[in-house]
Amino acid sequence: MVFVWWSSLTAAGHGLLEMLDPAERTRLDSLDRPADRGRSMVGAALLRVAVASHTGIAPADVLVERTCEECGAPHGAPRIANRAMAAPWVSVSHSGLLVVVALSARGPVGVDVQRVSDLADPSAAPQWVRREALFKARSRGPEGRGLVHELEAPLAGYLAAVALPADDGQDVVIRHWPDRGWSLRGEGSQK
């Protein structure tokens, strides 16, 4: 089973900064555009909320490692680094107003969301999100494994996909955070 968590820029607020570690705050400060800072802040917080929900620890206690395997800078794909627990596989994506996190306890997972109007060729959006999700999953695990499923984005004008571990079955459980306010759909399961 894979859990997909959705949020939006409406969740951005100064209260989220308290949940983040110093490296994540420094990363936010390095971004020039307020919208980029907002998406990154919500993505970092949502990642912590999703992992905390899965593991039962507090979001602020989730240790997120983002060291790039190529250059050593803190901008790599996120990995959960808590040693006292079985760390889930995670993936984060954001575009426009939306932020999405995918989590799997059984193997590499990749997720992508794309605001269609941001692409030079909007007709390529379905292939774009599938390719990006699969790339993220494969960059964390064995080549050639995984199933890609389209996701129903909670806002019109967006496409999304999640690449699941091949042995993870077909279930994708959808969550929205925060629970109230912006959410356009309730919790449910996509198959």
Supply the pLDDT for residue 186.
36
Ranges of residues in the chain whose predicted pLDDT is under 70: 139-146, 166-170, 180-191
Q: What architecture is the 2-190 domain classified under in CATH?
A: Alpha-Beta Complex (3.90)
Supply the pLDDT for residue 187.
38
Distance of CA 99 to the CA centre of its chain: 7
Residue with token string 């306010």:
181
**Helix runs in 56-95, H state only:** none
Question: What contacts 161, CB < 8 A, 6 or more positions away?
Answer: 111, 112, 126, 129, 130, 132, 133, 148, 149, 150, 151
Contact by Cβ (8 Å): 42, 96: no
Supply the pLDDT for residue 72.
85
Distance of CA 68 to the CA centre of its chain: 17
Supply the pLDDT for residue 168.
55
Supply the pLDDT for residue 145.
58
CA distances from 47 to 54, 78, 145 (A): 11, 9, 24
Supply the pLDDT for residue 167.
62
Domain-wise residue ranges, the chain: 2-190
The one-character DSSP state at 155 is S
Supply the pLDDT for residue 189.
41
